[in-house]
Amino acid sequence: MTMSKPIDEVLAPKPAARPRIYAYSIADSAHKGQLKIGQTTRDVKKRIAEQLKTAAIKNYKIELDEFAERDDGSTIRDYEVRAALVKKGFENTTLEWVRCTVKDVKTVLTELRTGQKFTGTHSDTFPMRKEQAEAVRLTHDYYRSRWAEDKRAVPRFLWNAKMRFGKTFTSYQLAKAMKAKRVLVVTFKPAVEDAWQADLENHVDFDGWQYLSKSSGRDPNDVHDKTPVVYFGSFQDLLGRDKATGAIKPRNEWLHEVNWDLVVFDEYHFGAWRDTAKELFEGEEEAEAKKEAKLEYAAGLEEVNDDLGVLSEKEADFLPITTKAYLYLSGTPFKALATGEFIEEQIFNWTYTDEQRVKEEHATYHADKWNPYGALPQMRLLTYQMPDELLAIASAGEFDEFDLNEFFAATGTGKAAKFKHKTDVQKWLDIIRGAYMPKVVEHLKTGTKPPFPYSDSRLLPYLQHSFWFLPNVAACHAMKNLLAEKHNVFWHDYEVIAAAGAGAGIGLEALPPVRKAIGSGFDTKSITLSCGKLTTGVTVAQWSSILMLRNLKSPETYFQAAFRVQSPWSIKNPNGDNPNEEEILKPACFVFDFAPTRALRQLSEYGIGLSPNEPNPENAVKELVSFLPVLAYDGANMTQIDAGGILDIAMAGTSATLLARKWESALLVNVDNDTLRRVLNDPDALAAVERIEGWRSLGDNVIETIINKSEKIKALKKKAQEGKLTKKEQKELSDEEREFKSKRKLIQEKLIKFATRIPAFMYLTDFRENTLQDVITKIEPDLFKTVTGLTVKDFHLLVRLKVFNTEQMNQAVFAFRRYEDASLRYTGIESHKGLTHYGLYDTVVAKE
């Protein structure tokens, strides 16, 4: 097993630095009554001595040396202190000298610590980073190429960009490059409005632009035609209909009359929003969960889910507006990437691995310049296998693995909350601080002690402010109660905030208690307990670690929560004399997980999801873990795991039954209208699908019937939007939708049934030492036809037309072969010695 980095490097100590404001005087006539005000993260005495050494000045006195943080954790800069003094009427005599007293400086510092942070309108001047400029260039070039082909074309483009790429700022730069005057921003997440407004109103590049939203009470028609306008709205507001007539609400009519230059869909995960919202907030009480989901993700979207995911191939079908172009923004667009929603030339990718790679390259090749990526911490994942006695308490589920939800099960709220397995949770608390006696004795015998979170001196600084992600409100309250018990003295140093339940507030209302507990982050220790709140759209720079203490099914949800701790925490120009210097207070951040198999499964799915064009899943995971090191504790030793090891552990417990389930997934096939049209327009493809077992039982011209019904439904829905639908047509619409969904479901089932024949064929072939491509296309093509009912040529054609989702099949084939290899290896047979793993598209059908 290869090691990308030594464990000591992965667990490198956290640097200690703290910003300070200082002031000194010089006892001479030239400086009488004046103070030099500066800043540093170093020892003040040494810093001042260095400054005055060249002038051989010795008659100075340090008058003030104080911490330079506000109550919210942000840094007070020396120029802010001087500006505040000047505002009060004190004279700024020379560059950093002010005619004032120490008391005056202290007064200003107090005001800056407790008051509002000063921000000017259109004061930001930073340029686009290289990747941001590239995103704008590629997108604009694609739009222009489509318009050159067809003046009426409405091109679509996807930015697959992780958080902190700067999607809002870069979207505005694209609008500026397009010379757009009317920009509509539509979101599933109303809570992100602040970022859209701030970026437009604070940067000099957008001086003169106007920002409007529902709360502004104005519409773009009130603004001069030559003035650029951005209107921000949520889906539930813009899609709002009159329940009685189905027509667009009067307040939104203007929106549909504007000819937009650009429409931006923010946080558009192509259906993942619904599952993510449900999973993130399922631990809250039902009423609370609904409120949280409504705030975080646009409410009222259940009813339009069919429009978004099944009925519509065009945005105008569910949002009837006119625009020149669409831009989609998402940090986790896995479904869109996997289903071929966008072709390669319509996608700009900026992933976690891209970010960390360019950070590393900049440090290597431009060491003398400020690194704009330097403050973005590298993530490290540490997983821990629990002792057998704790595993026995809560091992269940399809993989018979450690069930975090059961282990941390609790009842009651507030002071009455308690854990179902309180004694065992107490043992877990002892384990994570290295005080679990059976393990202590074992480590003394072996002479090794693995790095447990709250015991290893290298990890403790990163746990000064941590986020614990628990299953539900009861578990959060029970944990707070347990940590407060008298015998848990160790934990009494930490202020524990239970950001869960009605008492914690909705959305950002839950943040102030956390901010208050953390303060500047240097002198305090905190643990934030949550089961959903503060897991999205929140930046707390001091959070440096997250403990995953609940089951999460989707990698989108898992990493959305994990990225909370990847917020940068740094001080630019720490000593006030070098704009290219940056004191990084958080070079790394940690994810701790206590269900190793589940954690590594999430990691592998995330890595594969980030690289949809990589046919070999192992390569996709390998790239991710090169920048996201993984350490795993197996109960005896802590070792670093490579990509192959991650996939092996992720698939541990996989059975033939579970593999079969992968081949029964609806994700394996595409039955949207565009795909069905491609089949309908290709006689060979149409003949191929008709040879699939049971297809003829669907009736004649079933594909054409589905497409026609879809068009009819769209026409009826358009009438409904205009308020012209009769009662007879309302019933007709309901009947047509029911039959449409039924027939599409039947087609989906037939295609899935065909897909399940592929692993059956793989079991039957004898040529295990060859690649699957050799087996299917060269050695046993007749067997493939016998088992599946289609020729390899038929299958090749349907794959090319995207009837089958090749990326999902790649993963299913890979899982099958890895499972089979492991099974045979167990019996002493090495079936694929030295064989590189290939994906389905490379192995069943050669790329054209």
Which tokens belong to 633?
């504790």
Q: What is the average pLDDT score of the chain?
A: 79
C-alpha distances in Å from residue 803, one per residue of 664, 747, 845: 15, 11, 14
Per-residue pLDDT, averaged over 154-181, amounts to 92
Which tokens belong to 757?
């024949």
**pLDDT of 389 over the 60 cut:** yes
Which tokens belong to 155?
């091109």
- pLDDT tens profile 311-370: 334 454 556 678 999 999 887 766 666 666 777 889 999 989 999 999 999 888 888 788
Three-class DSSP category at 661: helix
Which tokens belong to 494?
């930490």
- pLDDT tens profile 492-541: 999 999 999 888 887 778 889 999 999 889 999 999 999 988 887 788 99
Which tokens belong to 106?
């202290």
Helix (H) or strand (E) holding 821: helix 806-826
Tally of CA atoms within 13 A in the half-sphere of 592 that contains its CB:
23
Distance CA 633, CA 386 (A): 9
Distance CA 459, CA 540 (A): 19
**pLDDT of 808 over the 70 cut:** no
The whole-number pLDDT of residue 179 equals: 95
Paired residues of 40 in beta bridges: 20
Distance CA 635, CA 578 (A): 48
Same fold across 130-350 and 379-602? yes
Paired residues of 469 in beta bridges: 530, 548
Three-class DSSP category at 266: strand
The whole-number pLDDT of residue 608 equals: 79
**Burial of 707 by CB count in 10 Å (0-12 exposed, 13-18 middle, 19+ buried)?**
middle
Which tokens belong to 693?
């077992």
Q: Which residues of 463-475 are buried (b: 16+ CB within 10 A; e: fewer)?
A: bbbbbbbbbbbbb
Three-class DSSP category at 705: helix
CB 105 within 8 A of CB 85: yes
Distance CA 5, CA 95 (A): 47
- pLDDT tens profile 115-138: 743 333 455 678 899 999 999 999
Residue 41, amino acid: T
The whole-number pLDDT of residue 187 equals: 81
- pLDDT tens profile 412-464: 989 999 999 999 999 999 999 987 766 555 555 555 677 899 999 899 999 99
Which tokens belong to 379?
């993530």
- pLDDT tens profile 238-284: 765 555 555 555 666 777 778 899 999 887 654 445 566 667 667 77
Which tokens belong to 423?
């004694």
CB 750 within 8 A of CB 694: yes
Distance CA 656, CA 264 (A): 44
CB 632 within 8 A of CB 639: yes
C-alpha distances in Å from residue 456, one per residue of 149, 434, 461: 62, 8, 9
**Which residue, among 22, 32, 48, 51, has the nearest Cα to 100 in the 3D structure?**
32
CB 641 within 8 A of CB 632: yes
The whole-number pLDDT of residue 169 equals: 94
* Cα 287 off chain centre by: 26
**Which residue, among 794, 844, 788, 790, has the nearest Cα to 814 in the 3D structure?**
844
Per-residue pLDDT, averaged over 571-599, amounts to 86
pLDDT band at 409; cut points 50, 70, 90: very high
**pLDDT of 686 over the 70 cut:** yes
CB 467 within 8 A of CB 543: yes
Q: Give the DSSP letter string of 118-138.
A: P--TT-B-PPPPHHHHHHHHH
Higher confidence at residue 143 or residue 448?
Answer: 143
Distance CA 770, CA 779 (A): 10
Computed from CA positions of residues 196, 201, 206, 211, in that sequence, does the dihedral angle turn out positive or negative? positive
Helix 781-788 to helix 792-800 angle, to the nearest 10 degrees?
Answer: 70
Tell me which DSSP letter residue 143 carries.
H
Q: Which residue has the tokens 């009494």?
A: 492
The whole-number pLDDT of residue 270 equals: 45
Distance CA 439, CA 425 (A): 16
Per-residue pLDDT, averaged over 710-727, amounts to 77
Distance CA 600, CA 593 (A): 9
pLDDT band at 113; cut points 50, 70, 90: confident
**pLDDT of 548 over the 90 cut:** yes
The whole-number pLDDT of residue 305 equals: 40
The whole-number pLDDT of residue 716 equals: 81
* Radius of gyration for the alpha carbons in the chain, expressed in angstroms and rounded: 30
Distance CA 117, CA 80 (A): 10
**pLDDT of 782 over the 80 cut:** no
The whole-number pLDDT of residue 144 equals: 96
Tally of CA atoms within 13 A in the half-sphere of 50 that contains its CB:
9
The whole-number pLDDT of residue 833 equals: 45
Higher confidence at residue 287 or residue 485?
Answer: 485
Give the CA-trace dihedral at 429, 637, 3, 617, to 10 degrees.
-70
Distance CA 484, CA 434 (A): 19
Which tokens belong to 768?
């295990």
CB 162 within 8 A of CB 272: no
The whole-number pLDDT of residue 663 equals: 66
Q: What percent of the chain has pLDDT over 90?
A: 27
**Which residue, among 391, 384, 402, 467, has the nearest Cα to 424 in the 3D structure?**
391
Distance CA 263, CA 320 (A): 12
The whole-number pLDDT of residue 841 equals: 33
Distance CA 122, CA 199 (A): 9
**Which residue, among 294, 180, 301, has the nearest Cα to 231 in the 3D structure?**
180
Distance CA 630, CA 644 (A): 12
C-alpha distances in Å from residue 744, one per residue of 7, 612, 666, 669, 767: 52, 26, 12, 12, 37
**pLDDT of 234 over the 50 cut:** yes
The whole-number pLDDT of residue 3 equals: 42
- pLDDT tens profile 726-781: 888 888 888 888 888 888 888 888 888 887 777 666 666 554 433 334 445 555 67
Three-class DSSP category at 173: helix
Distance CA 291, CA 283 (A): 13
The whole-number pLDDT of residue 843 equals: 34
Per-residue pLDDT, averaged over 65-88, amounts to 87
The whole-number pLDDT of residue 685 equals: 87
**pLDDT of 469 over the 90 cut:** yes
The whole-number pLDDT of residue 844 equals: 36
The whole-number pLDDT of residue 379 equals: 94
Which tokens belong to 612?
């949809």
Which tokens belong to 108?
């200003």
Which tokens belong to 354?
């891209």
**Which residue, among 603, 15, 628, 641, has the nearest Cα to 380 in the 3D structure?**
628
What number of other Cβ atoms are within 10 A of residue 683's Cβ?
9
The whole-number pLDDT of residue 276 equals: 63
Fold of the domain spanning 130-350 = Rossmann fold (3.40.50)
The answer as to CATH 3.40.1010.10 being correct for domain 379-602 is: no
What are the domain boundaries of the chain?
Answer: 20-114, 130-350, 379-602, 662-699+746-843
CB 10 within 8 A of CB 631: yes
